Chains A and B, each alone.
Chain A
Amino acid sequence: DAGVIQSPRHEVTEMGQEVTLRCKPISGHDYLFWYRQTMMRGLELLIYFNNNVPIDDSGMPEDRFSAKMPNASFSTLKIQPSEPRDSAVYFCASSPDGGETQYFGPGTRLLVL
């Protein structure tokens, strides 16, 4: 298996622009997690899905952030409009067993100027 796939790997954008991050989980994994990692706040869970349904979005910082999972093999995290403080590494992870064993993608490094 190719593992969790994320795209793009790097994104540089200007403040106010829309940013869309993409994730393809490992086939057969029912859980998908979006994390954000910064030096200041470490690794934070933003939202997770079970069988394509959002279960807990309490970590989503504000309404500018939204996430979808239209099918079992694809999820997006969207930021609109983006702000410089959104600059971070965004990881997607998938799990076959309820979240205990999580496999992380390579991350998307986002820089908002």
Chain B
Amino acid sequence: GQNIDQPTEMTATEGAIVQINCTYQTSGFNGLFWYQQHAGEAPTFLSYNVLDGLEEKGRFSSFLSRSKGYSYLLLKELQMKDSASYLCAVFSGGYNKLIFGAGTRLAVHP
């Protein structure tokens, strides 16, 4: 079966660091994606991990451990505009499918 778990909601303070966790159990794995989705808008690509380890991209970093079925998205120096939903998604290459988690709604407060 396919199962992707991430927290429903998180809150954080402007300027702080927040880590959003994602655990997955899927049949087939060819990479893990993080998407950002602002309210009323389409998801937009943030990061992609296919090998274990940390990928850094500016204020955003993403980590993957394939043996543990675990990933996290790290957001540093939080800004108000980072308030959005963050979707964890597993790409199942054998099926050419992106399977999305339910998303984590992040609220950044002043």
Q: Establish whether residues A43 and B87, one from each chain, have CB atoms under 8 Å apart when the complex forms.
A: yes
Closest to B92 in A: A99
Which chain A positions have C-beta within 8 A of B30? 100
Q: Which of A100, A103, A107 contacts B91 (CB 8 A)?
A: A100
Contact status of A107 and B42, CB under 8 A, knowing A45-B99, A99-B91: yes
Which chain B positions have C-beta within 8 A of A104? 42-44
**A25 CB within 8 Å of chain B:** no
Q: Which residues of A does B touch, CB under 8 Å? A: 31, 33, 42-45, 48, 50, 55-56, 91, 98-107
Which chain B positions have C-beta within 8 A of A106? 41-42
Q: Establish whether residues A42 and B103, one from each chain, have CB atoms under 8 Å apart when the complex forms.
A: yes
Chain A facing B: main interface SS: strand
Q: Establish whether residues A43 and B100, one from each chain, have CB atoms under 8 Å apart when the complex forms.
A: yes
State which residues 64-110 of B face A: CB under 8 Å: 87, 91, 93, 95-103
Closest to B97 in A: A45
Q: Establish whether residues A43 and B43, one from each chain, have CB atoms under 8 Å apart when the complex forms.
A: yes
Which chain B positions have C-beta within 8 A of A31? 96
Interface hub of B42, B45, B93, B95 (most chain A Cβ within 10 A) = B42
Q: Establish whether residues A100 and B31, one from each chain, have CB atoms under 8 Å apart when the complex forms.
A: yes
Q: Establish whether residues A42 and B98, one from each chain, have CB atoms under 8 Å apart when the complex forms.
A: no
In the complex, what's the smallest C-beta–C-beta distance from B69 to chain A, in angstroms? Answer: 19
**B60 CB within 8 Å of chain A:** no
**B48 CB within 8 Å of chain A:** yes
Q: Establish whether residues A45 and B98, one from each chain, have CB atoms under 8 Å apart when the complex forms.
A: yes
